[in-house]
Amino acid sequence: MKTLHEMIKDLTGIDVEKNKISKYLEYEALDLEDANLRWADLQGAKLWCADLRYADF
């Protein structure tokens, strides 16, 4: 399973610091429409404002 840090590097070739990703996501919503979260590790994720109506778990 890849982290966001690894995924960004794989897709762009840019190595972004993990703390910058965390800071960014504190203020920006992530659109996961059509994302397959069946094997996602969401332990510790703060999902209190997440719209999970159509999430495929």
Give yes or no for residue 56 having a pLDDT over 80.
no
* Integer Cα distance of 37 and 16 in angstroms: 23
Model confidence band, residue 46 (pLDDT cutoffs 50, 70, 90) = confident
| Cα–Cα distance for residue pair 19/40, rounded to 1 Å | 20
More confident residue, 49 or 12: 12
Angle between helices 18-27 and 4-12 (to 10 degrees): 100
pTM as predicted: 0.62
pLDDT exceeds cutoff 80 at 9: yes
User: Per residue in 11-42, pLDDT tens?
Assistant: 999 999 989 998 998 888 888 888 888 888 88
Q: How far apart (Å, rounded) are the C-alpha atoms in residues 1 and 51?
A: 23
